[in-house]
Structure formats: C-alpha cells, structure tokens
Structure 1
C-alpha cells in the first residue's frame, strides 16, 4: 500500500468532498478518485458512499479513517524526530563533573543546556574523581566528563577548557588566615586535608608535587573523596587544603580562601568523551560546555 493513498483517503474523508480534497492535496480530481478506488479494491471494502453533492464514510471507512490518521501522525512524528536527532536537538546524555566544576560550572551549564537543547534528557553526576570518570566513560555510564588532566587513555577525546589557579582553604581561626596570600613554604608544619590517594586523585598528585618542589614535607591528616567533605573538614578546623579556585563557589561558614603564590600554580580543566562518539547532540553539548567555560568566571 502506498502511503500516498492513505493521505488521499484521509483528505477526502475529512473534507467529505473530492474537489476540496484535490485542492488541499494540490492535485487534479480524476487521479484522486482513481487512487481511492484502487485503495478500496486493494482492501476489498467500500470506504466511501459517493453522491453528486457529498461523500460519506461507510462504517468500514470510519474505522479505517481512525487508523489511517494514527499511522500518518506516527509517520510524521517519526520524520520530525529523525530531523531533531540529526540536528542534535534530541537524545539522552549523562555528564559528570569533578568537585570544583560541580559547584562553579554546573549551575550555569545545566541552565544553558536546558535553554539550547530542551529536547535532550540530561543526567548530571557531580563530585567524581578523574579515575572514576574515565572508567564511567569507558563503560558508557557517562557520556561526557568535565575533569582534570592529564588523561592518558587514547580511547578518549580530551579538549582543554581553561586553567584554574590554586588557592588555600583555611578555617577562619587558622594562623595562615591572617595572611593575604599564602606561599607553598607557609604550609610547612600545617595539617593538610587532601583528595584521596587511594582513589588516584589528580589533585593529590598536584598538591604533593607542589609541596615537594617547595621543599615542604606534607603533613597529611585526612584523605577524602569529595570536595564538599574536604571543605567541611577545613571548616571544622581539622586542617588546610589546596584546591582549585572554582571551589571558592562552595561558600561555607568558617572557611576562608587565600591565593597560593610562590609558585602561583594552575590546574587544567578539560572536557572528555569517547573518541568514536560523534552524535550531533553530544557534539552540540560539548560546544555548549566550551562556551559556558569561556564565559563563566573561575568561581
């Protein structure tokens, strides 16, 4: 059965007139009448009662009209959905973020994605360490990750977004809180709270390398997996923490942040996805992430 025959029949059935239906379909009336007769012959039933003034549906025709309208609506919907998918305006994506991006970037990012890609269903996973994000990308649990390089996995496409300065998080009554800036050497004999070494945190390596280069033997008292927990322990006076500046967006009573100088070190922020992934909605999402990252302040 030709889909055109369905459209012809629906037009005649809705107009109850061959002439008006022909005008609606932008075609001549004789081929329209011939197509309806062919449809009835194919089905083996009479769909229409024809008179000189009007056309009425038979009982079979009324039943067929309902199904024909549903089929055409489904076909039109499928075509529209295919166009939206091809344009990157429809789909599902899971996005993960390291702790600092969770607080500083995710609010603006989720808002922008909802505006620009309202047809894409997004799921967000915050407070993920880089090794966990890489594993989630490999398994397909996550489609796009905002993470801290370096990333050595060649199966991933990693695009640099920006460099974030490092700051020192301190409790308000910590001796170093009185300083306007904190040097790496000032952290000698200071209890430190760091991201977990056991879970291979990128920030753990960054902080230890920074302190060793400054000749400071780190005095680590607590290792945690989540940035929010790290800052909570700082507020409790259990130690200081070296964190990316965007963490300052996590404003917690009793915590102050001081710029880290000598050296003034930065850490990168990047967006990653599986190298073979090139779906339009994923590509558009990465473009939005790049745009929001450029336009958002580090905090």
Structure 2
C-alpha cells in the first residue's frame, strides 16, 4: 500500500464519482479505477459499491475513509510542521542571563522575543555566572546566553552587544555614599563583596585586575553566586561591590550606586554553540541583537 492509494480512495469516496475524482487528481479515470481496485484487493474488503449509474461507500469503506482522512491529515500536519521548523518559525529555546542582564534586559527580552517570534517557545534562566552559562551551553541545557566575555571555549560563539560602565554599590550609611563618584583606589580599605571566584568568573577577575592596577590587593569579605544576594549583602552593611551599571535596575533599600572612576567598562555578549545551525536559534540570536541595540 502506498500513500497515493489512500489519496485516490479519499478522492473517489468524497466525490462518489470516478470521473470527478480523476479530474480532481489530474489523472485519467481508468488507472484511478485500477488503483482503487488494487487497494481493495490488498485489504481484502470492498470499499465501494459500484453500479453503472452511481458509486457508494460500503460500511467498510465509510470506516476506512475516516481513518484514511486522519492518516493523510497527520501527514499534512507533519509536513507543515517540518517546513515551519526548517524556516525557524517554531521551536523551543532556553535563554540564560548573567545577573545584570537578568534585571535590565530579561523583561525586555521576554516581551520582545515573544512579540517578534510568536511561534517559538522561550524560557529563561536568570542569575547565571559565566562559567555556569558556558557549561550549560556545552551541555545544551541552555541554547542562548547573555554573558560577560571572554569565553575561552572555541565551541562557543560570542557577539558583543554593548559595553556597560562599572559602578560601585555601597551601603547608604557608608562614607563613600556621600561622594558623587568613587575612585578605584578608594576601595583599598573597604571590605568588598564579589561574585564567586570560580575559574574564569569574569567579574571576580575584573575586580581583582582593577584593584591590582590601582596598587592594592582587594579585601574580599564574601563571595556569592547571585547578583541579588550580592546587593542584599551590601544593604546589610557587609561591604561594597563593584558591579556593571545595569545592576542599578535592582533597587534595594539601603544601597546607593556611585560611578567608579577608572573602572572602565565590561562587555555584554550574546553566545551560542558554534555548531548549532537551527534556523529558529539563528533567528532568535538576531532578534536579541535588535532588541538590545535597536540602532
């Protein structure tokens, strides 16, 4: 049995006329009649009752018509779905965000990606450190990452979205809170809170680099994994924290943010596996670029 046999039978069963069915199928009537008889012979049942004046479905033919329509409908749906997947119209993607992007960009991305790519189902994981994002990309636990480069794994492709200034978060009753801006050297005698210093933790390495460049070793009071926890500990008076400026979108009572003179900027990039070629993934990465930098 071939799919064309099902299509031939359905056309005849719906038209109840071999001539009209043949015209609908763009074929001659005799081979159509032969193919339907071959189908009946293979099934071992009569699907049609034929007379010189009309064609009618048998009881077996009526039952077979329902199943044949369902099979052909499923095949058509499968073909349509495959075409949509190939075009990048549908799919599922998980986006992982570093802490600063969680607060400043995740709401924008959640709305914007859903609006621009309505057929793709997005889920988001926030408050991820860069090492965790790289591991998650390697294991396909996330599909796209908004992270702070550098990433040293050549499997991961990154594209810079923007550069964010660094600021310092201090308790509102700290002497540095009274200043309009803070120089890196003024952090020499301050207890610092920092993101966990796992291998290649970008912000941990950047804070160490800034402090040493200013001529002192940082005095770390605590290392934490989540930006929200970091800022909460600042509010609790445990110390100050150097963070990217988008973290200021996380307002917590008891914390003030001051520009960090000499702190420079840190890059924010969108990343994905280099060997992932799915159309919906590529479309989503382009959409992220547009949403983060509309210019």
Q: Same fold (TM over 0.5)?
A: yes
The aligned counterpart of 2:139 is: 139
Secondary structure at 1:165 match in 2: strand
Q: Deviation at 1:116?
A: 2.9
Q: Which runs of 5 or more residues in structure 2 are unaligned?
A: none
TM-score by length of 1: 0.90
Alpha-carbon distance between aligned partners in 2 of 1:241 and 1:180, rounded to the nearest angstrom = 16
The aligned counterpart of 1:192 is: 192
The answer (yes or no) to whether the contact 2:103–2:250 under 8 Å persists in 1 is: yes
- Structure 1 residues 225 and 150 mapped into 2: Cα distance closer, same or farther (>3 Å)? same
The aligned counterpart of 2:280 is: 281
- Structure 1 residues 219 and 62 mapped into 2: Cα distance closer, same or farther (>3 Å)? same
120-129 or 225-234, which moves further after superposition? 120-129
5 Å-filtered alignment, 1:165-176, equals: 165-176=165-176
CA deviation digits over 1:241-268, x for unaligned, max 9? 110011111122222222212x141001
- Structure 1 residues 235 and 67 mapped into 2: Cα distance closer, same or farther (>3 Å)? same
CA-based RMSD: 2.1
- Structure 1 residues 182 and 295 mapped into 2: Cα distance closer, same or farther (>3 Å)? farther
The aligned counterpart of 1:21 is: 21
The answer (yes or no) to whether the contact 1:188–1:218 under 8 Å persists in 2 is: yes
1:58 aligns with 2:69: no
Secondary structure at 2:124 match in 1: strand
5 Å-filtered alignment, 1:87-106, equals: 87-106=87-106
Alpha-carbon distance between aligned partners in 1 of 2:255 and 2:77, rounded to the nearest angstrom = 54
TM-score by length of 2: 0.91
- Equivalenced residues, count: 295
The aligned counterpart of 1:126 is: 126
CA deviation digits over 1:44-98, x for unaligned, max 9? 3211123455432111111211211111011101111110111112223222111
Q: Deviation at 1:205?
A: 0.9
The aligned counterpart of 1:110 is: 110
Q: Which runs of 5 or more residues in structure 1 are unaligned?
A: none
